[in-house]
Structure 1
Amino acid sequence: MPTDNIPHPFSDLADDVRGNVLLPGEHGYDEELRGFQAGFSHQPAVIVCALGADDVRAAVRFAAVRGMAVAVQSTGHGLTVVDRGGLLLKTDRMTEVTVDPETRRARIDAGARWHHVVERAEPYGLAPPSGSAGHVGVVGYTLAGGMGLLAREFGYAADHVRALDVVTADGELREVTAASEPDLFWALRGGRDNFGIVTSLEIDLQSVSRVYGGGLFFDSEHAAAVMSFFREWTSRVPDSMTASLGMIGYPPMPSLPEVLRGRHVVHVRFTTTDLTGGPDLVRPWLDVAPVLLEHLGELPYRETGSIYREPDFSHPYDGNSVLLSELDPAVLEAVRQLAGADAPVGCIVDLRHLGGALSRPPETPSALSFRDAAYVLRILSVPDGQNLADVRAVHRRLDDAVRPWTVGRSLNFVYGERAADEFRSEFYEKPVLDRLAALKAVYDPANVFRRNQNIEPAV
């Protein structure tokens, strides 16, 4: 790219990459920092808008020589540790997806989103291990585990990765597989961006074209009954059923269904590949409490984003999650009392049933921890007009209340600016964290990749 207006030493970097190199104050710099997370953003010394793996290599080499931290951003959903004064790699322009129907695998570039993969896979009757929102980026979601819409049947997204192209701290592009580099392959699947910048990955697809799914809305006055039934019902459903329960207070917006406007509700969501048995599994829910709104039925996989009805527009949010060993009645009461309709700040609760294939070790082990967790409890708030400290105080009270049943945290479900080491010991079992730290010392001894939930190199 032209370097006339770029000061030394960044002119050297601009000479080596095809994509734009942007400095603070330049046209386009602020725009590049905008992501799905609107409440927090990086403040790097330089942004590299990578167009391919060679740009990533050049940027990492440039930063490593100068002792700069390297952060990466695709869609900006998972921003938790803010980079200040480092180098930010934008990978959102790297979006190529190819599907091989013979091997039932997809090759996915670093900036692709799940809806890109779904679109490419659908003509072959295949589906990826995507989550509840198709606009989420593939790579970050997958490397942190990724609990898909059919997770209890097929396991974590990371369990289906077969190869990764990754630029390590030495600026080398490596093709990493279980056979070629088993230690790095193990660490990347769970260690996320601590060991390098993944420029593409290859992942298995499933023979799924249609599912039975959707959800039921109940008024929050029936939350105790609905949550109690969720506990009992999830204890006996087959692995083919993946379900979750959410609580949210809707604003009185005309774009919402009239019955939901201005109402605090419990939303129970279902997805299964069992088109015949799915309706029978869900039918008992119709007798738990009066149903405000029903959206259930058979649908093509490409429409599964409608199940959770999550927003697809940029907005600020802050939150956290815990992995639970069981769903004790005291947990449900704490959720209802501390994060329900009467919470002092608006809370969005998401309680997902785990187990099934998620609990079984994959054929090729990975760094993902706490597979024995039975549920993940997620809480988030939109801090607009509210003091962030007040929001986090409410979240912390719920965190404390469920601590007796907490086994760890989900790396994908921590939101908002955090210290790089705030939850490090809670994302991994200790033997796993020790091995990750030892491998970090091998692959990134200078901790170039530290603007994240950081794993420090072992001494």
Structure 2
Amino acid sequence: MHEVEESSGIDRRTILGYGTAVGASSVLGVVAAGGPAVAGPRGAAGGFRRPPGLTGKALLPGDPGYAAEVKTYNLVQTPKPGLIIAAANARDVQIAVRYAASRCAPIAVLATGHQPSVPIGPDAVLVTTRSMSAVTVDARRRVARAQAGALWQHVVDKSVPAGLAPLNGSTPIVGVVGYTLGGGLSPTLGRKYGYAADHVRSIEVVTADGRLRMVTAKSDPELFFGLRGGKSNFGLVTAIEFDLFPVTSFYGGAILFAGEDAGRLLHAYRKWVRTVPEAMSSSVGLLRVPDLEAFPPPLRGKLVASLRIAYVGRPEVGASLVHPLRQVATPIIDAVASQPYAAFPVIHADPVDPAPVYERTALLRELNADTVDALLAVAGPKAPFPISLVEVRHLGGALARSPRQPSAVSQRDAAFTLFMAGVAGPEQAAATRAAEENIIRRLRPWSTGGMYLNFMNVDDASVDAVRHAYRPEVYRRLRKLKRRVDPANLFRLNHNIPPA
């Protein structure tokens, strides 16, 4: 393995620090204001009162604590609901849903706020679940149970000491429930085990009628199908139970190359992924590092090509698999090594500080020479543009197979995800969004036409866009389910599936 030399001044902590700095609002000097408040077609604008019987808190605009409760990770939109229910338990969620239904008001849920969609305005009720963060692990059954506000860090803290790992995302600060209901694409274990939604045992959910239901494949097969992949369209989930896996370590991390080597890396990568086993998950990200003194000169203000690796198996096998990519150029940083599972955040080094981030996504059916050349033309070292990250992530393996218990997670025929994230305040937002749209357009010849729900953001929140996250027959099935469990579309402040 290539180790970082002491004299370089760059170590693994630098990689993590990079993620923080790229996401920090201090990079921009400004913070995006929340989107405009838009009333739903049936919502009663304003005039909310605190419903009785709550264990948690009810907050109205202007109340102390209101602003803190609506804080989100992604600052592109700030929720401005007419009423916040800071739920302490499932009973509080029931009270909130019944109260919203009695007012014909839309109701939304907020855990971390990583994935904004449509604005949440004064006609809406917002349930926050941060106080509901309990996690339990049954090591014998290899199962975890997480409440609605639990983060992946909470799960890892409980599962790793038991010698088990979840199908978590790239960052420990994402909410377990939202991630899983949107599919759950793990960059460590996904290709080996499939989507997180494929391994859900049961779901505790409050539906639009205010009932608290325990949903399993046997109790309500259709609702169990729709919840796993349908996000928050069919109710507010208060807890889920899901499988854990006997994984204690991985061979992985990130190898950073200079931007001028991005072409060599990507062309080698597109050939390499055809040869690797399902135990190998990987991606390549083109990162634009801020011109800040916090970064060493080799990174500062430069385009960097980051190879992200997670191999679940013997380290020596992982090293032999990665060897060809290590040879394409001299790395700036090589931090791929044998790691305890709890170190998974070093792979992607996602930002931990809130920031206004515009994201776009597409699914690619292939990554051939022409695809790479097109990507480099619009996102490579000779194409300056205001986007922090452009990533291509390898799919396939277990992600391509239908699970034993079918779910709404679709588009399993895709070979890669294309994901973009641009940190932008109000003055940079238009240019950032235009650049991302240009990349989507240039890579359309290799697109499947589908999208991955968890990577969809404010610019992919229309009903038409959401339809592209599902196969046509699945989308029709979900609309029929919506008509059964939420005919008034109370749960519409999301990437919405309207009733049939």
TM-score (norm 2): 0.88
Asked if 1:106 is matched to 2:148, the reply is no
| Residue number among 15, 19, 23 corresponding to 2:56 in the alignment | 19
TM-score (norm 1): 0.95
User: Which is further off, 375-384 or 255-264?
Assistant: 255-264
| Residue number among 280, 301, 307 corresponding to 2:320 in the alignment | 280
Asked if 1:54 is matched to 2:91, the reply is yes
Q: Aligned partners of 1:224 and 1:417: how far apart in 2?
A: 29
Code of the residue aligned with 1:60 in structure 2: it is V
Judge conservation of contact 1:35–1:77 (CA < 8 Å) in 2. yes
User: Which is further off, 82-91 or 376-385?
Assistant: 376-385
Aligned to 1:231: 270
Asked if 1:202 is matched to 2:241, the reply is yes
Q: Aligned partners of 1:387 and 1:309: how far apart in 2?
A: 24
Q: Aligned partners of 2:182 and 2:322: how far apart in 1?
A: 30
Aligned to 1:3: none
Q: Aligned partners of 1:420 and 1:379: how far apart in 2?
A: 18
Judge conservation of contact 1:110–1:199 (CA < 8 Å) in 2. yes
Code of the residue aligned with 2:143 in structure 1: it is R
Structure 1 residue 238, shift from structure 2 partner: 0.6
Percentage of identical aligned residues = 41
Q: Provide, for residues 168-204 of structure 1, a one-character-per-residue CA deviation record: whole Å limited to 9, x for no partner.
A: 0000000000011100000000101000010000000
Judge conservation of contact 2:453–2:466 (CA < 8 Å) in 1. no
| Residue number among 384, 389, 408 corresponding to 1:343 in the alignment | 384
Q: Which SS does the other structure have where 1:194 is aligned? A: coil
Structure 1 residue 257, shift from structure 2 partner: 4.6
Structure 1 residue 235, shift from structure 2 partner: 1.1
Judge conservation of contact 2:289–2:303 (CA < 8 Å) in 1. yes
Aligned to 2:256: 217
The number of residue pairs the alignment matches comes to 450
Aligned to 2:129: 91
Name the CA shift for 1:136/1:66 in 2 (closer, same or farther; >3 Å): same
Judge conservation of contact 2:60–2:82 (CA < 8 Å) in 1. yes
Mapping for residues 3-152 of structure 1, pairs under 5 Å: 10-11=48-49, 13=51, 15-84=52-121, 85-148=123-186, 149-152=188-191
Q: Aligned partners of 1:113 and 1:239: how far apart in 2?
A: 26
Structure 1 residue 41, shift from structure 2 partner: 1.5
Name the CA shift for 1:213/1:236 in 2 (closer, same or farther; >3 Å): same
Give the gaps of 5 or more residues in structure 1.
1-7
Q: Aligned partners of 1:416 and 1:439: how far apart in 2?
A: 25
Asked if 1:190 is matched to 2:229, the reply is yes
Give the gaps of 5 or more residues in structure 2.
1-45
Asked if 1:296 is matched to 2:333, the reply is no
Q: Aligned partners of 1:217 and 1:12: how far apart in 2?
A: 52
Structure 1 residue 19, shift from structure 2 partner: 1.2
Aligned to 1:412: 454
Q: Aligned partners of 2:163 and 2:365: how far apart in 1?
A: 36
Asked if 1:360 is matched to 2:401, the reply is yes
User: Which is further off, 302-311 or 177-186?
Assistant: 302-311
Q: Aligned partners of 2:297 and 2:142: how far apart in 1?
A: 43
Aligned to 2:480: 438
Code of the residue aligned with 1:161 in structure 2: it is V
Q: Aligned partners of 1:383 and 1:208: how far apart in 2?
A: 38
User: Which is further off, 417-426 or 213-222?
Assistant: 417-426
Q: Aligned partners of 1:388 and 1:127: how far apart in 2?
A: 38
Q: Provide, for residues 312-347 of structure 1, a one-character-per-residue CA deviation record: whole Å limited to 9, x for no partner.
A: 111110011111111132222222221234233234
Q: Which SS does the other structure have where 1:212 is aligned? A: strand
Code of the residue aligned with 1:109 in structure 2: it is Q
Structure 1 residue 253, shift from structure 2 partner: 3.0
User: What do you get for the CA RMSD once the two structures are aligned?
Assistant: 1.5
User: Which is further off, 128-137 or 79-88?
Assistant: 79-88
